[in-house]
Amino acid sequence: MDPIARFVELLERAKKTPAIAEPTGMTLSTVGVDGRPSSRIVLLKGIDARGLVFYTNTRSRKGREIAAQPGVSLIFWWPQLESQIRFEGNAVRVTEAEADAYFATRPRLSQLGAWASDQSAPLRSREELEERFAELDRKYAGKPVPRPSHWSGYRVTPLAVEFWRNRSGRLHERDLYTRASADAPWTMTLLNP
């Protein structure tokens, strides 16, 4: 089975599991120019044969790290399903049209927040952020909020996908799918737990 299709089946199960509060939450790990890894939770906003999509401020730490080193990993951990799925691949910006289309679906407050927050930059006070937000709210009162040029999405094209499933006696199942490039066929290897 194609690992993307296999993942989508698991994702649908996770979405139907009430105990999983945020089934699309995934840990994104990037690497800085200093070689140090950095991880944070982002939300999966799209998936197809080309890869997994999330959106963010491109001037944030993650955006800067992806620009310098596009190799990333994503992890979904669903303890209620006793499953972890790990992706490794390269992140590339989505098209301007894709970013515009998604931004238009966001709640107005989130759109204003994308303008107000200089994500990952030092902030003198919470009041400073709230004042910027209020100013933008007045500026765009009664008008559509345009997408900031520094806000976009990334598509992670997977080159490796590992499915881990809990089993008794720590004899877990591990299926690793790999391919040499985005156009190459997948190869599946069973791994020792």
- Catalytic residue status for 106: no
- Measured CA to CA, the distance from residue 91 to residue 184 in angstroms comes to 17
Annotated active-site residue in 13, 126, 170, 174: 170
- Measured CA to CA, the distance from residue 44 to residue 88 in angstroms comes to 15
CA–CA distance from 113 to each of 26, 59, 102, 164, 165 (Å)? Answer: 21, 14, 15, 36, 38
- Measured CA to CA, the distance from residue 24 to residue 42 in angstroms comes to 8
Polymer length in residues for the chain: 193
- Which residues are known catalytic residues? 170
